Every structure is written in structure tokens, then in C-alpha cells.
């Protein structure tokens, strides 16, 4: 076991600055209105740094800086941009431990995860897009012997990116890497709950980027996010968050006639067919782990498998094994490498989760385990901890329909295959799903029939680059994590060329 010292304490592998300004045009500049906001760690609830409280003036400066850098950056060769992305990845890898500890302190998630998942995935993501842009090719269509259509990829220009707080660095990377690879310049607004850790990364990589290519404006959604989404100099907006803000961003985009990509969450079903229990073997153990995956990242994952659908013939026995497994999830100090579940990212998040636990009980769902706030004692008493919670109920209940974004699982049973598909698809959302079966045909059919952009089959919560990620239904628009995201950051230029010598004969 390793217990990392908290940032700022003696022996810590990382420290935060006492204050962060905006990063605009390659340098740190104070906010136009001179205001800052406090940034507490969810681990203890205590403030560890203050961050620039951006406004429309700051966003405007950032967009101008990005616009000034766009032409030159867009003209660089794919090889040159690829090299920059690879260098960013290398630099992050050299400082992986420091970034991981900073991210854990910022968000409250266990350092075990930031060391093994968040930061390694972010590093690999830069490398993936460094490769993808080198391999990307335009196309040629021969329309007749003398007429050719050439299709070129061109960058959009300045793009705005609004980042969520659940994976602050990884989600920023999912958006930055394809945008930069495609030759765009970026104005990025981190979430106000987690505004600081991106700056730990930025300080490490700033020298690798030409000034103005990446700009970071911090602040509140209404004061900084909204002016970014509305700015007339922005050619595309990418957002991860919830549906009302997603609609508002589409509304603002309609004013400027620009595209958006949106990732708006889900209520992902995790379906266990009866044959998973045919033997008590390694596969059964894997499926049991799949059930417990709802607790990953404290449930603060858009694809949290927050609905478990278990076939009725194995329902009782499967749950009898699964609940003790959930109860063995070790909750503790996020900087302890043995900790499996840390703190919720903010106080309002904690309050919302508790309000859903209340409505679950009101609606008559039965608490199988958890169901309350956790007080871990000492300095952690001020932090935001919830016991991993499993409810048993009915898919029509609100805890089965709404994204709680906490370690809360709602379990129900189904009789036959068709019931499973019906319940799985009875949701407004379609981002993720899980299917567990030893029978390849069943797993394949279920995977194809569930209306979701990502169906994990006999696995869950793996997020490799090179596997498309995005939603059906109200879960959003676009596919991240894959080279197809390059298309969302590029224009298509068609040159339609005639090599014929003679007039067309019209006039």
C-alpha cells in the first residue's frame, strides 16, 4: 500500500500553484475582471487553490488568440502535428505519477484509477490521434475520364470545448487530441468543479505548443461557458454534460450555424443472461465484477452501468454472490492506492445522490446494501462520500430512469430474452450497455438490439482509443475516441476539376 502525500504537503509528488490565471496565447493572463473562485478538494472539502473566474472578455481574448494561431497551425504538416501530440504524450508519461495524484486530489477519485486508467488512457489517446492523422487520407472520385473530384480534409478553425468534471484530464484529452490533430486551435473551458488539474498538465506541455493553439479559460458556465458557446469566432462546439445544457448549446450553435458534438449521458443497462451462472468459474467471477462496475469512479461516469438486469432463474443466487462483492469495495482516502472508491466530486453532487436515494426509497425500491452517506472520519469527514448502494425495484421507477451519477445501482429481473431487450431499451438514453452471456449468439443479438452506441460484451468500463464512443437517442451526437472524430473537427473541401480541353456546350 502506498499513501501519497496530499499536494502541498511535505513529500508530495506534485503541488498546485496557489492561484491559476487563464492560459491565453501561450501565457498566463489574469482575468479581465480580476476575480477568482475557490477550488476545494472533494477529499476533505477544503480549498487548495483559487482559479480565474472568466467572463466574456476573457473568452473573447482567448478566441482572438486561437484565431490568430489558426492559419499557421492549420497549415502545419500532419507529421508536424503528430510529432507535437506524441511529445505531449511522452511528457505526460514522464510525469504520470504527479499528474495522477493531482487528478485524484482535484476530483476525489482514487489514485489507483488515475494511475492505471485516467492518465495512461489520456497518454495513449494523444498517441492514437498522432497516428490517426498520419494515416488519414482524402479521396478521389473519377466522374468521367476527364473529370475528377478531389476531397481534402481542412481544419474548421477555432473550436470551443466544454469539459466535464468526472474525468477532468481524460475528457479534455478526448476533445483536445482529435481537434489538434485535425489542425484546429482550441479554447477549452474546464468544469468549475475541477478547474485546476488541467493546468498541471498544461504547465508540463506548454512549451510544445505554438502560442494560441490551446487556450484555457476557467470560470462558471453562465459567465464563461455560455460566451464561448455563443462566440461568433467559434466554428464548432463540443460539450459533455447534461441534456438541458446540451439543448442550449445546440440553440446557441443554431444562431451561428455551426456544428456541435454532444455527449449527454445515459442510464446504461447491464444485462446478465442465465448462462453466466452455468459454472462458478473465472467467467462467472468476471461477470460478478461487471455487476460491481457501477462503483467505478464513484458512479460518476456517463456510461455507469446503473441498471442491472438479471435473468429471473439466476436472480437470487447471482445477487447473493454480488452483494457481498459490492460490500467488499474498499472506500477510503483517495490517495491511498488500496482505495477502490473515493469521494463524490462536489457537495451538490453528494446532495443530489442523497436526494435520489430518498426518492428510491419513496417509490418502494428496496435497499440491498448501502443507501446512505459515509462518514470516513478524521479529515475525511468534510469530504463527500457515499456508500455503494444497490436498490431492487422496477424499471419504471425514477432511480431506473434518471442518471444519478453516483455509486447507486438499480437492479431488476427479466424472464426471457425479449423482456431483457424491452427493459434495456425502455430508457430515454442510449450511451452504453453491457451484455453478459457464454452464448455468442445471444450476446451478439442482444448487443445489436440494444439501442446504445457502445455495448460492452462480456466486459465493461474499458475505454481504449480506437473504439467509437457516443450515444443513441438523447445521449448525444458524435463519436469520440476514434478516428471518426476527426471528421467532426474537419471541413471537406471538394475540388471538382475538369481536365477536358473543350467547352461543355451549354452557352
Q: Taking CB under 8 A as the criterion, which residues in 411-450 touch other proteins?
A: 428-429
> What is the set of active-site residues?
263
H/E stretch holding 434 reads: strand 432-436
The binder of other proteins chosen from 191, 329, 365, 411 (CB under 8 A): 191
- Check binding of 103 to other proteins (CB under 8 A): no
What is the closest distance, in whole angstroms, from the C-beta atom of residue 351 to other proteins in the complex? 4
The binder of other proteins chosen from 56, 202, 248, 367 (CB under 8 A): 248
**Cβ(379)–Cβ(146) below 8 Å:** no
**Cβ(361)–Cβ(371) below 8 Å:** yes
What is the closest distance, in whole angstroms, from the C-beta atom of residue 12 to other proteins in the complex? 25
**Cβ(447)–Cβ(436) below 8 Å:** no
- Check binding of 173 to other proteins (CB under 8 A): no
**Residue 269: strand pairing partners:** 307
**Cβ(243)–Cβ(215) below 8 Å:** no
- Check binding of 240 to other proteins (CB under 8 A): yes
What is the closest distance, in whole angstroms, from the C-beta atom of residue 144 to other proteins in the complex? 46
The bridge status of strand 260-263 relative to strand 36-40 is unpaired
Long-range contacts of residues 44-47, Cβ cutoff 8 Å, at least 24 apart: 44/379, 44/380, 44/382, 44/383, 45/347, 45/382, 45/383, 45/384, 46/382
- Check binding of 372 to other proteins (CB under 8 A): no
CA distance 242 to 369: 28
The binder of other proteins chosen from 13, 50, 208, 359 (CB under 8 A): 359
Closer residue to other proteins in complex, CB, 195/447:
195
Closer residue to other proteins in complex, CB, 7/246:
246
What is the closest distance, in whole angstroms, from the C-beta atom of residue 189 to other proteins in the complex? 10
Closer residue to other proteins in complex, CB, 286/352:
352
CA distance 471 to 484: 14
- Check binding of 105 to other proteins (CB under 8 A): no
- Check binding of 46 to other proteins (CB under 8 A): no
Closer residue to other proteins in complex, CB, 16/356:
356
What is the closest distance, in whole angstroms, from the C-beta atom of residue 442 to other proteins in the complex? 29
- Check binding of 243 to other proteins (CB under 8 A): yes
- Check binding of 129 to other proteins (CB under 8 A): no
H/E stretch holding 73 reads: helix 56-75
What is the closest distance, in whole angstroms, from the C-beta atom of residue 293 to other proteins in the complex? 17
| Total interface residues for other proteins by CB under 8 A | 53
Q: Taking CB under 8 A as the criterion, which residues in 53-72 touch other proteins?
A: 53
CA distance 395 to 274: 19
The binder of other proteins chosen from 166, 185, 215, 297 (CB under 8 A): 166
- Check binding of 264 to other proteins (CB under 8 A): yes
Closer residue to other proteins in complex, CB, 265/332:
265
Segment interacting with other proteins (CB under 8 A) among 84-92, 240-248, 319-327, 492-500: 240-248
Q: Give buried/exposed letters for 474-499 (b at 16+ CB in 10 A, else e).
A: bbbbbbbbbbebbbbbbeeeeeeeee
- Check binding of 302 to other proteins (CB under 8 A): yes
What is the closest distance, in whole angstroms, from the C-beta atom of residue 225 to other proteins in the complex? 6
What the block records as the C-alpha cell of 157 is 478553425
What is the closest distance, in whole angstroms, from the C-beta atom of residue 248 to other proteins in the complex? 6
Helix axis angle, 78-94 relative to 96-107, nearest 10°? 80
CA distance 108 to 300: 11
- Check binding of 352 to other proteins (CB under 8 A): yes
Question: Smallest Cα–Cα separation from 380: which of 344, 435, 332?
Answer: 332
Q: Taking CB under 8 A as the criterion, which residues in 448-487 touch other proteins?
A: 474-475
Supply φ then ψ for residue 154, to 5 degrees. Answer: -130, 145
Segment interacting with other proteins (CB under 8 A) among 131-139, 246-254, 278-286, 312-320: 246-254
**Residue 384: strand pairing partners:** none
SS3 194: coil
Q: C-alpha distances in angstroms, 237 versus 159, 210, 252, 256, 489?
A: 6, 22, 10, 11, 10
CA distance 400 to 414: 14
What is the closest distance, in whole angstroms, from the C-beta atom of residue 196 to other proteins in the complex? 13
CA distance 210 to 219: 24
Binding interface with other proteins (CB under 8 A): 37, 53, 164-166, 191-193, 220-223, 225-226, 240-248, 251, 263-266, 300, 302, 346-349, 351-352, 355-356, 358-359, 362-363, 396, 398, 401-405, 428-429, 474-475
Amino acid at each position: 500500500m502506498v499513501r501519497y502525500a496530499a499536494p502541498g504537503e511535505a513529500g508530495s509528488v506534485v503541488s498546485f500553484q496557489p492561484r491559476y490565471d487563464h492560459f491565453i496565447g501561450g501565457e498566463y493572463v489574469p482575468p479581465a475582471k480580476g476575480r477568482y473562485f475557490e477550488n476545494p478538494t472533494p477529499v476533505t472539502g477544503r480549498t487548495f487553490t483559487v482559479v480565474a473566474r472568466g467572463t466574456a472578455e476573457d473568452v473573447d481574448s482567448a478566441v482572438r488568440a486561437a484565431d490568430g494561431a489558426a492559419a499557421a497551425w492549420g497549415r502545419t504538416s500532419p507529421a508536424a502535428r503528430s510529432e507535437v501530440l506524441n511529445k505531449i504524450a511522452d511528457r505526460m508519461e514522464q510525469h504520470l505519477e504527479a499528474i495522477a495524484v493531482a487528478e485524484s486530489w482535484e476530483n476525489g477519485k482514487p489514485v489507483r484509477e488515475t494511475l492505471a486508467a485516467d492518465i495512461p488512457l489520456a497518454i495513449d489517446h494523444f498517441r492514437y490521434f498522432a497516428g490517426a492523422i498520419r494515416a488519414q487520407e482524402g479521396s478521389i472520385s473519377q466522374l468521367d475520364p476527364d473529370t475528377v473530384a478531389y476531397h481534402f480534409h481542412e481544419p474548421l478553425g477555432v473550436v470551443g470545448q466544454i469539459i466535464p468534471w468526472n474525468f477532468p484530464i481524460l475528457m479534455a484529452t478526448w476533445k483536445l487530441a482529435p481537434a489538434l490533430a485535425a489542425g484546429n486551435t482550441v479554447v477549452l473551458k474546464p468544469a468549475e468543479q475541477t478547474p485546476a488539474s488541467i493546468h498541471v498538465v498544461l504547465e508540463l506541455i506548454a512549451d510544445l505548443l505554438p502560442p494560441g493553439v490551446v487556450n484555457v479559460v476557467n470560470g462558471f458556465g453562465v459567465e464563461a461557458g455560455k460566451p464561448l458557446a455563443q462566440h461568433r469566432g467559434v466554428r464548432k462546439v463540443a460539450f459533455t454534460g447534461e441534456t438541458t445544457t446540451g439543448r442550449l448549446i445546440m440553440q446557441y450553435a443554431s444562431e451561428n450555424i455551426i456544428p456541435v458534438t454532444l455527449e449527454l449521458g445515459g442510464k446504461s443497462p447491464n444485462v446478465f443472461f442465465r448462462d453466466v451462472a452455468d459454472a462458478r468459474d473465472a467467467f462467472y467471477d468476471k461477470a460478478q465484477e461487471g455487476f460491481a462496475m457501477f462503483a467505478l469512479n464513484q458512479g460518476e461516469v456517463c456510461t455507469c452501468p446503473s441498471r442491472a438486469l438479471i435473468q429471473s432463474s439466476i436472480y437470487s443466487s447471482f445477487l447473493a454472490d454480488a452483494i457481498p462483492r459490492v460490500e467488499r469495495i474498499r472506500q477510503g482516502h483517495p490517495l491511498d492506492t488500496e482505495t477502490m472508491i473515493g469521494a463524490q466530486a462536489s457537495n451538490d453532487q453528494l446532495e443530489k445522490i442523497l436526494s435520489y436515494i430518498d426518492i428510491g426509497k419513496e417509490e418502494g425500491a428496496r435497499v440491498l446494501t448501502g443507501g446512505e452517506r459515509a462518514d470516513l472520519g478524521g479529515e475525511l469527514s468534510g469530504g463527500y462520500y457515499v456508500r455503494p448502494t444497490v436498490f431492487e425495484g422496477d424499471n419504471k421507477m425514477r432511480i431506473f430512469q434518471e442518471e444519478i451519477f453516483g455509486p447507486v445501482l438499480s437492479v431488476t429481473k427479466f424472464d426471457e430474452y425479449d423482456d431483457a431487450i424491452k427493459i434495456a431499451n425502455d430508457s430515454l438514453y442510449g450511451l452504453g450497455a453491457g451484455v453478459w452471456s457464454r452464448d455468442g449468439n445471444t450476446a451478439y443479438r442482444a448487443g445489436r438490439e440494444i439501442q446504445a452506441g457502445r455495448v460492452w460484451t462480456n466486459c465493461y468500463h474499458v475505454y481504449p482509443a480506437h473504439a467509437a464512443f457516443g450515444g443513441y437517442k438523447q445521449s448525444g451526437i458524435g463519436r469520440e475516441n476514434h478516428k471518426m472524430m476527426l471528421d467532426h473537427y474537419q471541413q471537406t473541401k471538394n475540388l471538382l476539376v475538369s481536365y477536358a480541353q473543350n467547352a461543355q456546350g451549354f452557352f
